[in-house]
Amino acid sequence: MPFDAVIAEFAAALENPAAPPPAGVFGRRRAPDGRRFSVYRNNVAVALIGALAARYPVTEAILGAETFRELARAFMQARKPRSPVMIAYGGDFPDFLEEAAPGLATPGIVEVARLENAWVEAYHAEEAAAATLAQLAALTPERVAGARVALHPAARLLRFATPAASVWASRQADPSLSGPRSDLPEGEGGEDALITRPEADVRVRILPPGGYDFAARLADGATLAQAAEALADADDFGAHLVGLVEAGAFCSIHPGDLS
Protein backbone atom coordinates (compact mmCIF):
# COMPACT_ATOMS: atom_id res chain seq x y z
CA MET A 1 0.00 0.00 0.00
CA PRO A 2 1.39 3.46 -0.88
CA PHE A 3 2.68 5.44 2.08
CA ASP A 4 0.09 8.21 1.61
CA ALA A 5 -2.69 5.63 1.73
CA VAL A 6 -1.25 4.11 4.91
CA ILE A 7 -1.19 7.54 6.59
CA ALA A 8 -4.74 8.30 5.43
CA GLU A 9 -6.04 5.00 6.79
CA PHE A 10 -4.21 5.51 10.09
CA ALA A 11 -5.61 9.04 10.47
CA ALA A 12 -9.14 7.85 9.67
CA ALA A 13 -8.90 5.17 12.34
CA LEU A 14 -7.68 7.73 14.88
CA GLU A 15 -10.71 9.96 14.46
CA ASN A 16 -13.33 7.20 14.53
CA PRO A 17 -13.67 5.53 17.95
CA ALA A 18 -15.57 2.63 16.39
CA ALA A 19 -12.94 1.90 13.72
CA PRO A 20 -10.68 -1.17 14.01
CA PRO A 21 -6.90 -0.76 14.06
CA PRO A 22 -5.57 0.12 10.62
CA ALA A 23 -3.95 -2.59 8.55
CA GLY A 24 -0.35 -3.27 9.50
CA VAL A 25 -0.72 -2.04 13.10
CA PHE A 26 -0.08 -4.97 15.41
CA GLY A 27 0.35 -5.66 19.09
CA ARG A 28 3.11 -7.67 20.75
CA ARG A 29 1.84 -10.93 19.22
CA ARG A 30 1.92 -9.56 15.68
CA ALA A 31 -1.86 -9.44 15.60
CA PRO A 32 -4.31 -6.49 15.53
CA ASP A 33 -4.83 -5.14 19.04
CA GLY A 34 -7.87 -2.89 19.24
CA ARG A 35 -7.42 -2.20 22.94
CA ARG A 36 -3.91 -0.86 22.58
CA PHE A 37 -4.86 1.22 19.56
CA SER A 38 -7.81 2.66 21.49
CA VAL A 39 -5.42 3.83 24.18
CA TYR A 40 -3.29 5.58 21.56
CA ARG A 41 -6.40 7.09 19.94
CA ASN A 42 -7.54 8.42 23.31
CA ASN A 43 -4.10 9.87 24.05
CA VAL A 44 -4.20 11.82 20.78
CA ALA A 45 -7.64 13.22 21.61
CA VAL A 46 -6.59 14.16 25.14
CA ALA A 47 -3.47 15.92 23.84
CA LEU A 48 -5.37 17.99 21.28
CA ILE A 49 -8.16 18.92 23.69
CA GLY A 50 -5.51 19.81 26.25
CA ALA A 51 -3.77 22.04 23.72
CA LEU A 52 -7.02 23.91 23.13
CA ALA A 53 -7.67 24.27 26.86
CA ALA A 54 -4.18 25.70 27.33
CA ARG A 55 -4.77 28.20 24.51
CA TYR A 56 -8.25 29.23 25.68
CA PRO A 57 -8.34 29.02 29.51
CA VAL A 58 -10.81 31.88 30.00
CA THR A 59 -13.10 30.57 27.27
CA GLU A 60 -13.06 27.19 29.00
CA ALA A 61 -13.85 28.80 32.37
CA ILE A 62 -16.79 30.72 30.93
CA LEU A 63 -18.25 27.78 29.03
CA GLY A 64 -17.57 25.29 31.78
CA ALA A 65 -15.11 22.41 31.51
CA GLU A 66 -17.62 19.82 30.27
CA THR A 67 -19.11 22.02 27.54
CA PHE A 68 -15.65 23.17 26.47
CA ARG A 69 -14.46 19.56 26.13
CA GLU A 70 -17.46 18.69 23.99
CA LEU A 71 -16.80 21.63 21.69
CA ALA A 72 -13.07 20.92 21.63
CA ARG A 73 -13.71 17.29 20.68
CA ALA A 74 -16.03 18.41 17.85
CA PHE A 75 -13.37 20.88 16.69
CA MET A 76 -10.70 18.18 16.82
CA GLN A 77 -12.79 15.91 14.61
CA ALA A 78 -13.60 18.70 12.14
CA ARG A 79 -10.20 20.37 11.92
CA LYS A 80 -7.04 18.33 12.12
CA PRO A 81 -3.61 19.75 13.02
CA ARG A 82 -1.71 21.02 10.01
CA SER A 83 1.63 21.21 11.78
CA PRO A 84 3.53 18.97 14.23
CA VAL A 85 4.09 22.11 16.32
CA MET A 86 1.28 22.07 18.87
CA ILE A 87 1.38 25.82 19.53
CA ALA A 88 0.03 26.25 15.99
CA TYR A 89 -3.09 24.19 16.71
CA GLY A 90 -6.41 25.81 17.42
CA GLY A 91 -5.98 29.28 15.95
CA ASP A 92 -9.30 28.92 14.12
CA PHE A 93 -11.20 27.66 17.18
CA PRO A 94 -13.05 31.02 17.56
CA ASP A 95 -14.30 30.73 13.97
CA PHE A 96 -15.46 27.19 14.72
CA LEU A 97 -17.34 28.38 17.81
CA GLU A 98 -19.08 31.08 15.80
CA GLU A 99 -20.05 28.75 12.94
CA ALA A 100 -20.70 25.42 14.63
CA ALA A 101 -21.99 26.31 18.08
CA PRO A 102 -23.98 29.56 17.88
CA GLY A 103 -26.37 28.37 20.57
CA LEU A 104 -23.60 27.73 23.09
CA ALA A 105 -20.97 30.26 22.13
CA THR A 106 -22.49 33.73 22.37
CA PRO A 107 -20.76 36.67 20.64
CA GLY A 108 -19.11 37.55 23.95
CA ILE A 109 -17.59 34.10 24.34
CA VAL A 110 -16.40 34.04 20.73
CA GLU A 111 -14.74 37.43 21.15
CA VAL A 112 -13.03 36.36 24.38
CA ALA A 113 -11.69 33.39 22.43
CA ARG A 114 -10.43 35.71 19.69
CA LEU A 115 -8.60 37.76 22.30
CA GLU A 116 -7.02 34.67 23.82
CA ASN A 117 -5.87 33.49 20.40
CA ALA A 118 -4.37 36.91 19.66
CA TRP A 119 -2.59 36.75 23.04
CA VAL A 120 -0.97 33.44 22.04
CA GLU A 121 -0.03 34.80 18.60
CA ALA A 122 1.57 37.83 20.23
CA TYR A 123 3.49 35.65 22.66
CA HIS A 124 5.00 33.55 19.86
CA ALA A 125 5.47 36.36 17.32
CA GLU A 126 8.80 37.33 15.80
CA GLU A 127 11.27 39.13 18.04
CA ALA A 128 11.82 42.83 17.37
CA ALA A 129 12.80 45.85 19.41
CA ALA A 130 9.96 48.27 20.10
CA ALA A 131 10.14 51.89 19.01
CA THR A 132 10.70 54.29 21.90
CA LEU A 133 9.49 57.69 23.00
CA ALA A 134 13.04 58.94 22.44
CA GLN A 135 12.74 58.02 18.75
CA LEU A 136 9.39 59.78 18.58
CA ALA A 137 10.80 62.87 20.29
CA ALA A 138 13.68 62.93 17.79
CA LEU A 139 11.30 63.79 14.95
CA THR A 140 11.68 67.40 13.94
CA PRO A 141 8.38 69.34 13.71
CA GLU A 142 8.53 69.54 9.92
CA ARG A 143 8.84 65.75 9.64
CA VAL A 144 6.06 64.74 12.06
CA ALA A 145 3.07 65.06 9.72
CA GLY A 146 4.57 62.81 7.06
CA ALA A 147 6.11 60.30 9.44
CA ARG A 148 5.04 56.66 9.25
CA VAL A 149 5.38 53.74 11.66
CA ALA A 150 5.78 49.98 11.30
CA LEU A 151 3.57 47.82 13.48
CA HIS A 152 5.48 45.52 15.83
CA PRO A 153 5.24 41.83 14.78
CA ALA A 154 3.61 41.01 18.13
CA ALA A 155 1.02 43.79 18.01
CA ARG A 156 -2.62 42.86 17.45
CA LEU A 157 -5.57 45.23 17.03
CA LEU A 158 -9.00 43.87 17.92
CA ARG A 159 -12.46 45.41 17.62
CA PHE A 160 -15.19 43.81 19.71
CA ALA A 161 -18.96 44.27 19.73
CA THR A 162 -18.96 43.22 23.41
CA PRO A 163 -16.81 44.12 26.46
CA ALA A 164 -14.69 41.03 25.78
CA ALA A 165 -11.44 42.63 26.93
CA SER A 166 -12.95 43.59 30.28
CA VAL A 167 -14.33 40.07 30.73
CA TRP A 168 -10.90 38.63 29.99
CA ALA A 169 -9.23 41.10 32.35
CA SER A 170 -11.65 40.24 35.16
CA ARG A 171 -10.56 36.61 34.92
CA GLN A 172 -6.92 37.65 35.24
CA ALA A 173 -7.69 39.75 38.30
CA ASP A 174 -9.80 37.03 39.95
CA PRO A 175 -9.07 33.48 38.67
CA SER A 176 -11.59 32.11 41.19
CA LEU A 177 -14.48 33.31 39.03
CA SER A 178 -16.21 30.25 37.69
CA GLY A 179 -19.42 29.08 36.12
CA PRO A 180 -20.62 29.17 32.54
CA ARG A 181 -21.13 32.77 31.34
CA SER A 182 -21.27 33.99 34.94
CA ASP A 183 -19.44 37.23 34.18
CA LEU A 184 -20.56 38.10 30.66
CA PRO A 185 -22.26 41.51 30.80
CA GLU A 186 -25.49 41.78 28.83
CA GLY A 187 -26.33 44.74 26.63
CA GLU A 188 -23.09 46.64 27.14
CA GLY A 189 -21.15 48.35 24.40
CA GLY A 190 -18.14 47.04 22.55
CA GLU A 191 -14.45 47.59 23.19
CA ASP A 192 -11.32 47.99 21.13
CA ALA A 193 -8.15 46.31 22.33
CA LEU A 194 -4.44 46.40 21.58
CA ILE A 195 -2.22 43.44 22.39
CA THR A 196 1.52 44.01 22.57
CA ARG A 197 4.59 42.25 23.95
CA PRO A 198 7.02 44.82 25.35
CA GLU A 199 10.03 43.19 27.00
CA ALA A 200 8.60 39.68 26.40
CA ASP A 201 5.53 40.46 28.51
CA VAL A 202 2.21 40.19 26.65
CA ARG A 203 -0.17 42.98 27.61
CA VAL A 204 -3.79 43.71 26.74
CA ARG A 205 -4.79 47.37 26.61
CA ILE A 206 -8.35 48.65 26.12
CA LEU A 207 -8.09 51.52 23.67
CA PRO A 208 -9.83 54.85 24.27
CA PRO A 209 -12.46 56.12 21.79
CA GLY A 210 -10.85 56.76 18.42
CA GLY A 211 -7.75 54.78 19.33
CA TYR A 212 -8.55 51.75 17.17
CA ASP A 213 -9.22 53.76 14.00
CA PHE A 214 -6.10 55.84 14.58
CA ALA A 215 -3.90 52.77 15.14
CA ALA A 216 -5.50 50.84 12.26
CA ARG A 217 -4.72 53.64 9.82
CA LEU A 218 -1.11 53.70 10.98
CA ALA A 219 -0.91 49.91 10.61
CA ASP A 220 -2.18 50.28 7.03
CA GLY A 221 0.67 52.66 6.20
CA ALA A 222 -0.94 56.06 6.71
CA THR A 223 1.19 59.01 7.77
CA LEU A 224 0.67 60.46 11.23
CA ALA A 225 -1.28 63.34 9.70
CA GLN A 226 -3.52 60.98 7.72
CA ALA A 227 -4.16 58.80 10.77
CA ALA A 228 -5.03 61.85 12.85
CA GLU A 229 -8.00 62.47 10.56
CA ALA A 230 -9.70 59.49 12.25
CA LEU A 231 -9.83 61.36 15.55
CA ALA A 232 -12.87 63.39 16.51
CA ASP A 233 -10.68 65.83 18.42
CA ALA A 234 -7.32 66.77 16.91
CA ASP A 235 -6.06 67.66 20.39
CA ASP A 236 -6.11 63.92 21.23
CA PHE A 237 -3.43 63.17 18.61
CA GLY A 238 -0.45 63.38 20.97
CA ALA A 239 -2.05 61.27 23.71
CA HIS A 240 -3.00 58.50 21.27
CA LEU A 241 0.41 58.44 19.61
CA VAL A 242 2.38 58.47 22.85
CA GLY A 243 0.11 55.77 24.30
CA LEU A 244 0.74 53.47 21.35
CA VAL A 245 4.50 53.99 21.52
CA GLU A 246 4.54 53.40 25.28
CA ALA A 247 2.55 50.18 24.77
CA GLY A 248 5.16 48.85 22.33
CA ALA A 249 2.86 48.86 19.32
CA PHE A 250 5.55 49.89 16.82
CA CYS A 251 8.97 48.57 15.89
CA SER A 252 10.11 51.62 13.94
CA ILE A 253 9.26 55.26 13.24
CA HIS A 254 10.20 56.70 9.87
CA PRO A 255 10.47 60.51 9.55
CA GLY A 256 8.43 62.17 6.86
CA ASP A 257 10.03 63.91 3.90
CA LEU A 258 10.71 67.60 4.12
CA SER A 259 8.13 69.59 2.17
Q: Judge if 145 and 44 occupy the same domain.
A: no
Q: Judge if 144 and 240 occupy the same domain.
A: yes
Whole-number Cα distances in Å, 121 to 112, 157, 163, 221:
14, 12, 21, 22
The predicted structure's pLDDT at residue 182:
46
Task: Establish if 111 belongs to a structural domain.
Answer: no
Of 86-90, 114-118, 240-244, least confident by mean pLDDT is: 86-90
Q: Judge if 61 and 100 occupy the same domain.
A: yes
Distance CA 197, CA 123 (A): 7
> Which of 105, 139, 162 corresponds to the end of one domain?
105
Q: Judge if 183 and 224 occupy the same domain.
A: yes
Q: Judge if 79 and 158 occupy the same domain.
A: no
Name the range with the highest mean pLDDT among 30-34, 171-175, 178-182, 206-210.
Answer: 206-210
Q: Which pLDDT tens digit goes with each residue over 20-67?
A: 777 767 666 666 666 777 776 777 888 899 999 999 999 999 888 999
Q: Which domain range does residue 204 map to?
A: 126-259
CATH number at residue 142: 3.90.930
- Smallest Cα–Cα separation from 58: which of 180, 160, 154, 158? 180
> Which of 105, 134, 167 corresponds to the end of one domain?
105
Task: Establish if 120 belongs to a structural domain.
Answer: no
Q: Judge if 84 and 166 occupy the same domain.
A: no
Task: Establish if 110 belongs to a structural domain.
Answer: no
Task: Establish if 118 belongs to a structural domain.
Answer: no
Q: Judge if 138 and 256 occupy the same domain.
A: yes
Distance CA 62, CA 65 (A): 9
Q: Judge if 54 and 147 occupy the same domain.
A: no
Q: Judge if 169 and 55 occupy the same domain.
A: no
Q: How many domains is the chain built from?
A: 2
Task: Establish if 119 belongs to a structural domain.
Answer: no
- pTM listed for this prediction: 0.85
Distance CA 73, CA 193 (A): 30
